[in-house]
Chain A
């Protein structure tokens, strides 16, 4: 008898162990944020353990911060988690183009000798 499927089985695992380190404070993270990069705040003297998920529509790994209160993106067509950028695109266009499909299309194009093109969000 097959086991019960859980979406949690798709989760990745992230650990930042700063128990013996000054760590990266919230203040430092805020100060060093620039453009599209923000250091993960992980306080010194503590071990941070978080789950990660890959966006269903792109290859990005998203860290699930427990303090987030805004709703996470979800695509009902592919029944998967989507990152904020892809969620915006999905809501505006209504198009679901899962990463698996993109890879399939890429392989098809490559097999036909065409130059595959993928545009990330």
Chain B
């Protein structure tokens, strides 16, 4: 299958949120959500670039499974994009849900499903993680809690600053 890049140009509102608490619409870069019960998605790369302009901004980003899945129409927040790495990519039969805005129920980060600690100082800091082989990828399975949805959001603490980010994922 083909890889896609889910990107956020600038996350202007980044709300630090505790585990098992509603992630506020548009205040985190994205949630990824499986669209069928047999869908498997691998995460290949996570990159976050700090964009805070003037002061130290320890920003504790966290990629994690969601223990509560968002429901209702899912759309991108301002600045969010999702595009195939190869323009010849055919559309998936069931498209993975992306975005940080949900119409009905808001997702909640799982307390036990933390996958990747992405903390950085958004004032000049750059965070980059990459898997070298498919065995090293994080996996999203199906479309139900807790393995069928994951989100990149800010954990409580620190002083969140502006960030831009991208994630490369591949749905099988």
Contact = CB atoms under 8 A, between A and B. Distances in A.
A54 B138 contact: yes
A120 interface: yes
Contacts of A111: 38
Interface residues of A, number: 45
Nearest to B141: A106
B119 A39 contact: yes
Contact of A59 (B19, B115, B142): B115
Contacts, number: 129
Contacts of B142: 106, 110, 116
B157 A22 contact: no
Contacts of B158: 32, 39
Contact of A18 (B37, B60, B125, B144): B125
Interface string B102-128: 000000000111111101110111111
Given A34-B156, A39-B157, A106-B141, 17 more contacts: A10-B135, A12-B131, A15-B128, A16-B127, A17-B126, A19-B124, A23-B121, A32-B157, A35-B19, A38-B117, A39-B58, A39-B60, A40-B119, A54-B137, A61-B115, A103-B139, A103-B141
30 contacts: A10-B133, A11-B136, A12-B131, A14-B128, A15-B129, A16-B126, A21-B50, A21-B124, A23-B125, A24-B120, A24-B121, A32-B158, A34-B157, A35-B111, A36-B19, A37-B60, A38-B117, A39-B117, A42-B125, A54-B131, A59-B115, A99-B139, A103-B139, A103-B141, A106-B141, A110-B142, A115-B144, A116-B142, A118-B141, A120-B112
